[in-house]
Structure 1
Amino acid sequence: MSKFWTGRFEGYSFDYFKKDLLSGTIVGIVAIPLAMSFAIASGVKPEYGIYTAVIAGILISLLGGSKYQIGGPTGAFVPILLGIVLSYGYENLLLAGLMAGVMLVLMGVFKLGILIKYIPRPVTIGFTAGIAVIIFTGQIANFLGLKGMEQHERFIDNMKEIGSHLDTMNVYSVMVAIICFAVMLMTPKILPKVPGALVGIVASTVVAVVFLNGQVATIGSTYGAIPNTLPQFGIPDITLEKITMLLGPAFVIAMLGGIESLLSAVVADGMTNSKHDSNRELIGQGVANIVTPLFGGIPATGAIARTATNIKSGAVSPMSGMIHGLFVLLTLLVFAPFAVHIPLASLAPVLMMVAWNMSERKHFAHILKLKTGDSIVLVVTFLLTVLTSLTIAVEVGLLLAIILFAKRMSEMLVVSKVLPDHEKYNGKVVPQAVNAGHDCPQVSIYTVEGPLFFGAAQTFEQSILSSIHAKPTTLILRLGRVPFIDTTGEEYFRNILRDFKSRGGSVFVTGVQPALKKILDQNGLSKEIGEGNFYSHTGEAIDRALGCLNRHACIGCKHYAFRECRELSSKKIS
């Protein structure tokens, strides 16, 4: 158990606690309006967001792999959770969150945290920007105070819904939203250390209560009172049928939660010169998401903005994250009755600002300007996130990225026919030495550079077999710059071996690195090549090849590919 705390609370002092107390309180103040806003945007009651910030916030800090991570409900989850609520209901959202927690724990136990880093940047930026668009547009109705609105799972349907209800716009709601937005923008300039979102909500709420009582929709008029009591424990109804039905949504929650939490941990590492434990982070996130639904909370993950605020506020350990959760709990118990007066129009600018900040607009524009395959992956992922679902977007985005990667890797493979150049390169083998009048008919040497995998293996075979017109009896392959070979590359390599062996020829291999040699041993190619046909240097293989020449064929040959050729060409065979 002592190992569990190593590096996290070692040497912890009262001075450290004071710093964590300050940073935890500041982050707690930031978290409260966001927790309620994200819950409402996700289609559930605001108190469920508060419960999530409390329980998940404490557990993620206590059990996670980052000293500075702040966990809770986040904007990235909004479209996914709203879709689940609309399709399956709130009770099934709790079960999906619990299942996602189990998946995250398993991902951590089986050390899959490292796999998250293999998700290409254009995919993550694409779906993050798409989520930002969904969050932003999802708040238009509250900003304008539209009435009689129905929430839909699809973006287009929601846009049509807004368009058909524009005639119900409430001028007072727009005024409240503008006041909140203006205060949010001015607060950082006047009071840099005070959360603008909180000040904006308080100021606009006061205006609504004093001057517009009953004129705008509030949390109380829409969702009822927020209980100022501890959340009640309850186990969701778990059946095999429900588990099967929710496997897909749960997997999406787990994947997005894993990606966002680890991205947040990486950001924290960069700000503090620390290093997180990705697998432990997944386990901590998983446990938090298993426990939180038992108290009515929604799925949670690491929150990048709150984590950054935590660090900037002077946090030194996970204690700040736990204090943040306890502060939110204390606020719930004391101030919950006052939250009913908060207008929904006040929360809209907060979420719109969150969407703007998470949109990755600069990175989006940069990748778009490159006009490369990454630009296509970005745009496709973005459009599919907005127009279909995050699941489809990530699947298609990853598929396109894999195809693009395979294409690029295949283009990296270079197969060059070479010969020694004793005049310019001191006997080094170079492609420039090969021409129509200078190419040994009996010995062919090729330099292969790049991976022999499924995308390039056929090119490897064709480059060699199609360029051999004189049917040489000896083939020398220089593989010093081949990092690996997969089963497809293995098959094409075997085709070359069989082609030469069928004509009584030999294949010599030079410069093979230990990692590649191990693969060749495992797949049986070493045995087919022959252990005696491996050489460290090309010169050794050439000497062996010259010893296997058909001397009669050398008489009169004017190619002079090797130093020995002039003598062999003029030498009579007795």
Structure 2
Amino acid sequence: MFSAFTQTVKAKPSLAAVQADVLSGLIVGIVALPLSMAFAIASGVAPQHGLYTAIVAGIVISLSGGSVINVSGPTAAFTVVLLPIVQKFGVGGLLVSGAMAGIIMIIMGAAKLGSLIEVVPYPVTVGFTSGIAVIIATFQIKDFFGLNVEPVDGHYLEQVGAIMRAVPTATLADFLIGMLTLTVLLVWPRLRSKVPGHLIAVLAGSVAAWAGSKISPDFVAATIGSRFHYEVNGVNGGGIPPFLPSLNWPWNLPGADGTPVGLSWKMLHDLFPSAIAIAVLGAITSLLCSVIADGLSGCKHDSNDELIGQGIGNIVAPFFGGIPATAAIARTATNIKAGGRTPLAAIVHSLFVLLAILLITPLLSYIPMASMAALLFIVAWNMSEVKHFIRTIRIAPRSDVAVLLICLSLTVFFDMAIAVGVGMSLAAILFIQNTISLTTTKKMEREHHGLGELSASVAVYDINGPLFFGSAQKAMKNIAAVSPDVRVVILEMSKVNIIDMSAMVAMESISQTLERNGIGLVVSGLQPRMLLTLRRAGLRRKTGKVEFSRTLADGVEKAKRLLRSLREHQAP
């Protein structure tokens, strides 16, 4: 816990490094300001909740996490999970489920599950992130074209149907503002300017919307100020309240019916599946970001500490109006490119957002909703990684392509949590299937140099590969069906590196079957730790029936003695 902060303090960064972090934090803050509002809006809540998340979670996670370079806050990946929660439980339910997810993430980190989450198969990751990108882009059509879409709580196809029915309500003003913002976002990177394109694009859209309304009264584009309203301590206004995030119990915030959600076991029970989904997605996204950041910066993160830090941040943020947060790949990459190397950069980014709330909230109200939609279009495009998606489809094994497409389809048409669960299950099944194919059992020919002169009554089987629940039966089934003239079986197991309980049971069954048929068994070359495991399971040396040897040559000698003993025992 707090390993990133501790590592930074021990390193004693120079004044030049501190200055680089401050500058990087300011640049990331400029990028994060519109993105935080956009992701909150896409999640179904007012934009200030995204800003509060960037402030509180950004500071807490940077201090308590395991990555010195990550920048955390609201992200695009969460929107597809959070929107259904808001629709069903309101903003209060969302914040409570976020705090519950934080507790789950701390448990995951304390249980050392960080390294396990890092090995999520690539097809699963690409599949659900591409699916999320499709959903994000689809749901921005409404604001990009200024559609008056009827409220629908159904799945993706029902949402698309509602959007299609609303096409006749499109407004020219919103479309033009959206296209202007999108054009700037696409063209600006080619100019190689150090000024973030997000800021210029949103600024251009806002100025155009304001100028258009002054030129023509009919040119009216929806803005943050016209879409969102607040009432704080008797003060009413449009857009974002110009107040700092304040402490408030999450369960006192309204649910879907407008009344406080309250705190009860039933509410916690109802929100638990959502909390699991938030925790799993947050863990995967954060650790994926950490791995990418390590590759770009040369730093090294602690995956379990990062999970604990993300958990602490997600517990604290809801008490200040923050929605679930995770490490953000785009903001982290910007931080690295700008020269940030310590948690100070993330803290400065959060302080920049805080100052923006105090100083420029009236100006933020002029940001058009179409500009926010255009911004999210670009986020969705970058998130989909179309080039990697197409390349995977072209060169990956058919089984991996199937997993990718299934994850994408389930994410879009059903649920992200289902997609990850099914994808991981399919990937695990394919892994087991591939691992089973690595385990072979071959009967060794008598001409083998290690066998010497061996009687035809002795059969030698070479077992190569891991023996576990998937491969044990396959490896052992041929051994049980030995020819009638065989009196001793040697199992050459020097190349076996894994034995699980299923394999132990299978070997015990083989031993008993051979013993009933009067056939001796010699287990040769098994590693000491696995040999000890077999003995604990009950498979021990039995004089005249079961023997163990360290080498094949020693096993051949023991087989000869065992064969003589069996013949003497069977002689009249």
Per the normalisation by structure 1, the TM-score is 0.90
SS in 1 for 2:499: coil
Instruction: Confirm whether residue 519 of structure 1 aligns to residue 533 of structure 2.
Output: yes
Q: How far did 1:447 drift?
A: 0.4
Counterpart in the other structure of 1:384:
410
**1:337-376, aligned counterparts within 5 Å?**
337-369=362-394, 370-376=396-402
Cα distance in 2 for residues equivalent to 1:132 and 1:293:
26
Residues 551 and 2 (structure 1 numbering): CA distance in 2 closer, same or farther, change over 3 Å? closer
1:341-362, CA deviations, whole angstroms, 9 ceiling, x for partnerless residues? Answer: 1110011111010011011323
Cα distance in 1 for residues equivalent to 2:151 and 2:92:
20
Residues 2 and 414 (structure 1 numbering): CA distance in 2 closer, same or farther, change over 3 Å? closer
Q: How far did 1:283 drift?
A: 0.9
Q: Which moved more, 1:90-99 or 1:392-401?
A: 392-401
Residues 505 and 336 (structure 1 numbering): CA distance in 2 closer, same or farther, change over 3 Å? same
Cα distance in 1 for residues equivalent to 2:202 and 2:276:
35
**1:248-263, aligned counterparts within 5 Å?**
248-263=273-288
Equivalent pair of 1:188/1:194 in contact (CA under 8 Å)? no
From 536, 549, 566, the counterpart of 2:550 = 536
Instruction: Confirm whether residue 547 of structure 1 aligns to residue 561 of structure 2.
Output: yes
Q: How far did 1:190 drift?
A: 2.3
1:273-313, CA deviations, whole angstroms, 9 ceiling, x for partnerless residues? Answer: 22101111111101100010001110000001110110110
Counterpart in the other structure of 1:94:
95
Equivalent pair of 2:59/2:350 in contact (CA under 8 Å)? yes
Q: How far did 1:542 drift?
A: 0.8
Q: How far did 1:121 drift?
A: 1.5
Cα distance in 1 for residues equivalent to 2:368 and 2:191:
24
**1:14-413, aligned counterparts within 5 Å?**
14-212=15-213, 215-224=220-229, 225-237=239-251, 238-369=263-394, 370-413=396-439
Q: How far did 1:59 drift?
A: 0.9
Cα distance in 2 for residues equivalent to 1:367 and 1:266:
20
Equivalent pair of 1:65/1:276 in contact (CA under 8 Å)? yes
Cα distance in 1 for residues equivalent to 2:4 and 2:428:
38
Equivalent pair of 1:109/1:283 in contact (CA under 8 Å)? yes
Cα distance in 2 for residues equivalent to 1:219 and 1:537:
77
1:396-441, CA deviations, whole angstroms, 9 ceiling, x for partnerless residues? Answer: 111111211111111111000003426xxxx146xxx9xxxx9954
Equivalent pair of 2:540/2:546 in contact (CA under 8 Å)? no
1:528-553, CA deviations, whole angstroms, 9 ceiling, x for partnerless residues? Answer: 79998221211111122223335999
Counterpart in the other structure of 2:445:
419
Q: Which runs of 5+ in 2 are unaligned?
A: 230-238, 252-262
Q: How far did 1:495 drift?
A: 1.2
SS in 2 for 1:476: strand
- Which structure has the larger Rg? 1
Counterpart in the other structure of 2:506:
492
Counterpart in the other structure of 2:7:
7
- Kindly provide the amino acid, as one letter, of the partner of residue 462 in structure 1: K
Q: How far did 1:471 drift?
A: 4.6
SS in 1 for 2:112: coil
Counterpart in the other structure of 1:560:
none
Aligned positions, number: 543
Q: How far did 1:53 drift?
A: 0.5
Cα distance in 2 for residues equivalent to 1:297 and 1:523:
53
Equivalent pair of 1:264/1:304 in contact (CA under 8 Å)? yes
Identical aligned residues as a percent:
41
Counterpart in the other structure of 1:502:
516
Cα distance in 1 for residues equivalent to 2:74 and 2:8:
24
Cα distance in 2 for residues equivalent to 1:367 and 1:16:
39
Cα distance in 1 for residues equivalent to 2:543 and 2:439:
22
Cα distance in 2 for residues equivalent to 1:274 and 1:312:
14
Q: Which moved more, 1:62-71 or 1:228-237?
A: 228-237
1:43-89, CA deviations, whole angstroms, 9 ceiling, x for partnerless residues? Answer: 00000000001111111111110000000000000010001001221
Q: Which moved more, 1:248-257 or 1:209-218?
A: 209-218
Q: How far did 1:461 drift?
A: 2.0
Q: How far did 1:153 drift?
A: 4.7
Instruction: Confirm whether residue 455 of structure 1 aligns to residue 470 of structure 2.
Output: yes
Equivalent pair of 1:412/1:450 in contact (CA under 8 Å)? yes
Q: How far did 1:7 drift?
A: 2.2
SS in 1 for 2:443: strand
Cα distance in 1 for residues equivalent to 2:6 and 2:314:
24
- Kindly provide the amino acid, as one letter, of the partner of residue 449 in structure 1: N
Cα distance in 2 for residues equivalent to 1:301 and 1:512:
46
SS in 2 for 1:49: helix
Q: How far did 1:472 drift?
A: 1.6
Cα distance in 1 for residues equivalent to 2:349 and 2:359:
16
Cα distance in 1 for residues equivalent to 2:559 and 2:244:
83
Q: Which moved more, 1:472-481 or 1:24-33?
A: 472-481
Equivalent pair of 2:177/2:208 in contact (CA under 8 Å)? yes
Q: How far did 1:148 drift?
A: 3.9
Equivalent pair of 1:497/1:529 in contact (CA under 8 Å)? no
SS in 2 for 1:212: helix
- Kindly provide the amino acid, as one letter, of the partner of residue 7 in structure 1: Q
Cα distance in 2 for residues equivalent to 1:250 and 1:519:
40
Residues 257 and 516 (structure 1 numbering): CA distance in 2 closer, same or farther, change over 3 Å? same
SS in 1 for 2:463: strand
Q: Which moved more, 1:533-542 or 1:241-250?
A: 533-542
Cα distance in 2 for residues equivalent to 1:396 and 1:70:
30
From 444, 458, 463, the counterpart of 2:459 = 444
1:20-42, CA deviations, whole angstroms, 9 ceiling, x for partnerless residues? Answer: 11000000000000000000000
Counterpart in the other structure of 1:470:
484
Q: How far did 1:236 drift?
A: 2.3
Residues 2 and 379 (structure 1 numbering): CA distance in 2 closer, same or farther, change over 3 Å? closer
Residues 168 and 4 (structure 1 numbering): CA distance in 2 closer, same or farther, change over 3 Å? closer
Counterpart in the other structure of 2:260:
none
- Kindly provide the amino acid, as one letter, of the partner of residue 177 in structure 2: V
SS in 2 for 1:139: helix
Cα distance in 2 for residues equivalent to 1:526 and 1:273:
51
- Kindly provide the amino acid, as one letter, of the partner of residue 372 in structure 1: R
Q: Which runs of 5+ in 1 are unaligned?
A: 555-572
Per the normalisation by structure 2, the TM-score is 0.91
What CA RMSD, in Å, does the superposition of the two structures yield over aligned residues?
Answer: 2.3
- Kindly provide the amino acid, as one letter, of the partner of residue 458 in structure 1: Q
Equivalent pair of 1:172/1:212 in contact (CA under 8 Å)? no
